[in-house]
Amino acid sequence: NAGVTQTPKFRVLKTGQSMTLLCAQDMNHEYMYWYRQDPGMGLRLIHYSVGEGTTAKGEVPDGYNVSRLKKQNFLLGLESAAPSQTSVYFCASSYGTSRLSYEQYFGPGTRLTVT
Amino acid sequence: SQQGEEDPQALSIQEGENATMNCSYKTSINNLQWYRQNSGRGLVHLILIRSNEREKHSGRLRVTLDTSKKSSSLLITASRAADTASYFCATDAGGSNYKLTFGKGTLLTVNP
């Protein structure tokens, strides 16, 4: 099993450009999450999904959109990138209610720089 | 806002010594988790302790939870250079078991 994978690993955008980050998991997890990690700030939840076709806002959702059309994929979109969105983005997944397991499994991260 | 706050922010010890990190949180929880992050990598789950548990062990890890003080500690015994990493506590504030709030982490450096 590959676990949680993220594409791309690195990206540089100019202000105003758009992009989509892809997260894929092969563990049949119900729940998926997108976090951002900034120096000295720990991880902050952007959006999450409790199942295919459902999404919800986290702590810092502004400027981001998400979609979960397939259970194994969770996409994070930036419609008009801003320098404040320079960060490392992590995707995670968990079993959720299917196994009452609360451990989250993380991807390797995407380092995004907006100039 | 951060639910969990780790203390200290950074810790440097010699190989073989024990390392203790603390986490304080603000609201009631169902469970508390500890994660490790090696430099440039994703987080890895270490251990989960439920609100009705006081202590839990996993290999060289020992976690305690004091719900009256809203605090937890992670003890790593007989540390190794490979334990060098950032350690985060995560709580499920808000009543959801599945939505976690992470602290800012403790950077542990184990010198050979």
pLDDT tens figures, A3-25: 999 999 999 999 999 999 999 99
- A109 and B33: CB-CB below 8 Å? no
What sign does the dihedral A23-A27-A30-A34 (CA atoms) show?
negative
pLDDT for B2 equals: 52
pLDDT for A40 equals: 77
Question: Running DSSP on this structure, what letter comes out for residue B81?
Answer: G
CB < 8 Å to B94, chain A: none
Q: What is the mean pLDDT of residues B21-30?
A: 92
Chain B residues with at least one Cβ partner in A under 8 Å: 2, 31, 33, 40-45, 48, 88, 90, 92, 97-105
CB < 8 Å to A103, chain B: 33, 45, 48
- Separation CA B86–CA B106 (nearest Å): 5
B39 pLDDT more than 70? yes
Helices (H) and strands (E) in chain A, counts: 0, 11
Question: Running DSSP on this structure, what letter comes out for residue A101?
Answer: B
pLDDT for A109 equals: 97
Closest CA to A90 of A15, A25, A17, A13: A25
- Separation CA B25–CA A81 (nearest Å): 33
Q: What is the mean pLDDT of residues A52-67?
A: 96
Tokens 């403790």, residue located = B106
For the purposes of burial, counting CB atoms within 10 Å of the CB of A34, is it exposed (0-12), middle (13-18) or buried (19 or more)? buried
- Separation CA B61–CA B48 (nearest Å): 11
Pairing of strands A4-7, A54-57: unpaired
Q: What are phi and psi of B23, to 5 degrees?
A: -140, 130
Q: What is the mean pLDDT of residues B78-92?
A: 96
Closest CA to A96 of A55, A60, A53, A49: A49
What sign does the dihedral B2-B8-B11-B13 (CA atoms) show?
negative
Residue B107 carries which side chain, given as an amino acid letter? L
B1 pLDDT more than 60? no
Model pLDDT for residues A81-96, shown as the tens digit of each residue: 999 999 999 999 998 7
- B43 and A90: CB-CB below 8 Å? yes
